[in-house]
Amino acid sequence: MTRNVAIVGGGQTSWGDRDASWKDLAQEGGKATFDAVPDIGPEDIEGLFVGAVQPERFAFQSHVAPLVAELLGIDVTEMIARTELACASGQAALRYAWLAIAAGQLDTALVLGVEKMNLGKAQMPEMQASMSNVLDREFDGVNGLSAPPFFAWYAQRHMHEHGTTREQLSQVAAKNKSNAAKTDFAQFQREIEPEDVEESPEIAPPLHLYDCSGITDGASGVIVMSEEKAREVTDTPAWITGSGQSSMAGNSINNLPSFDGWPQAREASQNAYEQAGIEDPLEEIDVAEVHDCFSISEIIEYEELGFCERGEGGQFIEDGRSHIDGDIAVNPRGGLLGCGHPLGATGVSQALEITQQFQGTVSSDRQVEDATTGLIHNLSGSASVHSVMTLGRDPQ
């Protein structure tokens, strides 16, 4: 049994360095989600899927899905789970909810992504050590490899192989941070110019501070429903039309297939496109939320998701083709660079952005005109796993 599945709406907390606990964020995100979909309450939820990466280290709490159910007053009658797939944990939770509903196991599910990362300046080393857990701890993590130098390698190699420039990296960061200035929940809300990126402190050459996503607390939730139930709630749902995942190399960087691209992203997106009936993503996708944890990431993703040819990602941003009024609006909410990156919440927030773009409820100065097809993308771990989901204003 396969059924059409839709996101009917959702909500989120404000993102940033929050004076709030993990439990506070879960309650705030859950309340915002139910407030945004007033016809659905805790009593209607049959399945609960919680995306959370490291609550054991950030909040010293495990078994968090039942905890969320308790905090939100949900008596789960069918299915409950916490998903952990590093930065793709939120999208993984959404994927499992989609599959459960498509299979007829559920009709209504809550997907909630939650992360509390800021532990105070005194505990910054603990936070950084926790982040390196996504690598092979005995080989890469123990040598101090963290995200900035890892993505700096990709930037260096992409520049060497394809002529990508420092200015093009800056244009990605300036675009996304300026988009975030129009997003009410974003961590960073100031428009900047490309030269501001290059004048920010250098972190791992060629990457500067503004090339890097933030350390962020936040939560985001969506209500996912079967077609029959969704049509009772809204006339403008976002239908999940395809999903793909690909994993290569495990956690160790020694096994990665490339340092200037991600064939895993290409494979995952092709799987999603095939399910959604998308033949030319550049022509058929109107809005995309991609995983710009660092500015180089978005440039590589243009290429691997099929928006341009390999090696042309830098030119793609330079020509303005990924701006809100370009060929395909990429990260109109501000992406990870502008909104921040509360790990378990990011994928859920991306899906909510696409839903709200379809519904026309985002700020008018970042609304994509006549958007009917969207995409979300996450990479996770040592960029060894890539997850892609397509959404449409119409079911297939």
Q: Which residues are catalytic?
A: 87, 341
Yes or no: say if 130 and 52 are a contact pair by the CB < 8 Å rule: no
Q: Residue 265 and residue 246: Cα distance in Å, rounded?
A: 7
**What's phi and psi for 227, nearest 5 deg?**
-55, -45
Q: From its phi and psi, is residue 177 left (phi > 0), alpha (psi between -120 and 50) or beta?
A: alpha
Q: From its phi and psi, is residue 144 left (phi > 0), alpha (psi between -120 and 50) or beta?
A: left
Query: Exposed, middle or buried by CB within 10 Å (0-12, 13-18, 19+), for 26?
Result: buried
Beta-sheet pairing, 79-83 with 287-289: unpaired
Name, in order, each residue with C-beta under 8 angstroms of 250's C-beta and a sequence gap of 6 or more.
136, 384
Yes or no: say if 373 and 285 are a contact pair by the CB < 8 Å rule: yes
What DSSP state is assigned to residue 213? P
Element (H, E) at 109: strand 108-115
Q: List the beta bridge partners of residue 363.
A: none
CA distances from 358 to 238, 377, 390, 396 (A): 7, 18, 13, 16
Q: From its phi and psi, is residue 206 left (phi > 0), alpha (psi between -120 and 50) or beta?
A: alpha
First and final C-alpha spacing in the chain: 16
According to DSSP H, which parts of the chain are helical?
Answer: 22-36, 55-58, 64-72, 89-102, 124-131, 147-162, 166-180, 194-199, 227-233, 263-276, 281-284, 295-304, 313-318, 335-339, 343-359
Q: Residue 160 and residue 387: Cα distance in Å, rounded?
A: 27
Short-list 363, 360, 380, 383, CA closest to 372: 360
CA distances from 3 to 46, 102, 202, 235 (A): 17, 4, 50, 18
